[in-house]
Chain A
Amino acid sequence: MPRTAFEQQLHELEDDLLALGSMVEKAVLRSIDALKRRDHVEAQQVVGDDKLVNEKRFQIEEKCLQLLATQQPMAVDLRTIVSVLHISVDLERMGDHAEGIARVSLRIGDEPFIKPLVDIPRMADLALDMLRRSLDAFTRRDVELAKQVARDDDEVDVLHEQVYRDLLTYMIENRENINQSTYLTWVAHNLERIADRSTNIAERVVFAATGRMEEIGASMY
């Protein structure tokens, strides 16, 4: 006996989650792009668009609550809805991290970079890749892929550490670098958090697929 309407609502819920993921992915991409190109207009847009991310997340939360209240979901359905709730919160916070990067970019303004941006864009690439694959793993309920995403967090953590040490050196060398170095450590921190939240999503994939709640990646931070 298929539950056509309910299944349709569950599909829509997952589609909404992927749409939120896509919005967040774009926000992160644009925030890094704005930083690299000193594009203040784009940075402002990322800041402004964060409210759309927040709205989408509340919309998803509301749909989850409606399904919980009206459909009394059990087993795999219950796990799916609870996972969507958690993942939507992580995605929304990732949107906040993208906004944070855009705000830093605005603070740095047109000041020349104290060093070429190499590791930070690499961190962004890795973190975004983790985000995409964690959502892919959720769609496919692919536990192995989820675990791989969690393992990849180590690489981002190592880069974060490296960026931090580099910037510290610049600060020690010349006190005039302190301001920008501090801003750039904030950017790196935001990217590191995005990677961590992708790991959270990966953990939810394991839960949705198996019912097991386990930490599958422990961040150094």
Chain B
Amino acid sequence: MAKTTTRAPILEQESSGGTIAPVAGQSEPRDRPLSEFIALETVGLDFYYGDFLALADINIRIPARRVTAIIGPSGSGKSTFLRCFNRMNELLPGARHQGQVLLNGNDIYALGVDVTEVRFRVGMVFQKPNPFPKSIYDNVAFGPRINGFRGDLDNLVEQTLRQAALWDEVKDRLKKSAFELSGGQQQRLCIARTLAVEPEVILMDEPASALDPAATLKIEDLMADLSKEYTIVIVTHNMQQAARVSDFTAFLNTEGGGEPAHFVEFGPKDQIFTTPKDKRTQDYITGRFG
């Protein structure tokens, strides 16, 4: 849908050219994304709940195979923004949007796009672990099965559980109920369930807020590993967590009084947490408001 208003600037990181794949023997700088490897992008995105404009004119480009953290005060629209990337908001009555949401350059809201396919490609992990009332094995195998997976399912389940750093803890009880696992293990199982359908992007909405510190750190380590292969976008109200896990951080804010949310600043996390450019970002991350 065409918009006639002036566009907000695209929040994008500067690029110095090159390839995103690490050169053998060299580690790639994690704060140097390249514009040609943008996994997710919004163009003039407005999002409404009924008449209420929650997000206004959002233009952001999220680098591939990096962890991008969205921070902001409660009610600033972080989760709403996240859910735009896998069309989860469509499930809410009255929700609608204008503008584009691009996954690898293709509009996921375009006519003819299969929403199920979008959700396979853009997986999501929620605040509270929500395993299915099935065995550990069946939780992981569920997605591939309904996807018509024809290969070696046992191997897929093992590899996926290894990727989620859970295999060693569950390999002797795969047929046990997922509910027998601890909260942290359940959350890693949910991550494994997401990984099993080979997504490109993993959205995480406060994935560790219901977990104890040890389980939280395991999830954070896992995110660092997974970001070598997947694009991760995490919403968190825990700034220390954003500082620990993200390569890039975006600050979403609303001026209050029913004003829609917008991104104030987006940049490499080192910049956001040590030398933010905008005073509002500085005030928020130093705890002066929010």
Chain A residues with CB under 8 Å of B288's CB are 1-3
Interfacial residues, chain B to chain A (CB-CB below 8 A): 239-240, 243, 273-276, 281-282, 285-290
Binding site for B on A (CB under 8 A): 1-3, 6, 72-79, 210-212
User: How far is it, in angstroms, between the C-alpha of A25 and the C-alpha of B273 when the chains are bound?
Assistant: 35
Contact assessment for B287 and A3 in the assembled complex, using a CB-CB cutoff below 8 Å: yes
Q: How far is the CB of B135 from chain A (nearest CB, A)?
A: 40
Q: How far is the CA of A120 from the CA of B34 in the complex (A)?
A: 56
CB of B282 within 8 A of CB of A75, answer yes
A211 with B274: CB separation less than 8 A: yes
Q: Specify which of A2, A3, A74 is in contact with B273 (CB 8 Å cutoff).
A: A74
Task: List residues of chain A with CB within 8 A of the CB of B285.
Answer: 74-75
Q: Which residues of B are found within 8 Å of A3, using beta-carbon distances?
A: 286-288
Cβ 8 A contact of A72, one of B240, B275, B276, B281 = B240
A77 to B281, CA, bound (A): 13
* Smallest CB separation, B264 vs chain A (Å): 13
B residues in contact with A75, CB < 8 Å: 273-276, 281-282, 285-286
Knowing A72-B240, A210-B275, the reply to whether A77 touches B286 (Cβ < 8 A) is yes
Q: Would you give 6 A-B contacts (Cβ < 8 Å), ordered by A? A: A6-B287, A73-B286, A74-B285, A75-B275, A75-B276, A75-B282
Nearest B residue to A3 via CB reads B287
CA distance A211 to B271 in the complex (A): 9
A185, chain B: closest CB distance, angstroms: 42
- Chain A positions within 8 Å of B281 at CB level: 75
- A79 CA to B275 CA in the complex, in Å? 9
State how many angstroms separate the Cβ of B32 from the closest Cβ of chain A. 18
Closest Cβ of chain A to B185, distance in Å, is 27
Please report the C-alpha to C-alpha distance between residue A74 and residue B242 in the assembled complex, in whole angstroms: 12
Tell which of B239, B240, B287 has the most Cβ of chain A within 10 Å. B287
Q: Which residues of B contact A79 (CB under 8 A)?
A: 274-275
CA A3 to CA B288, docked complex, whole Å: 6
**Contact, CB under 8 Å: A74 / B275:** no
Given A72-B239, A72-B240, A74-B239, residue A211 in contact with residue B287 (CB < 8 A)? no
Which residues of the other chain, B, contact A210 by a CB distance below 8 angstroms?
275
Q: In the bound complex, how far is the Cα of B275 from the Cα of A74, in angstroms? A: 9
- Nearest-CB distance from A206 to chain B (Å)? 12
Instruction: Quote the shortest CB–CB distance from A148 to chain B (angstroms).
Output: 23
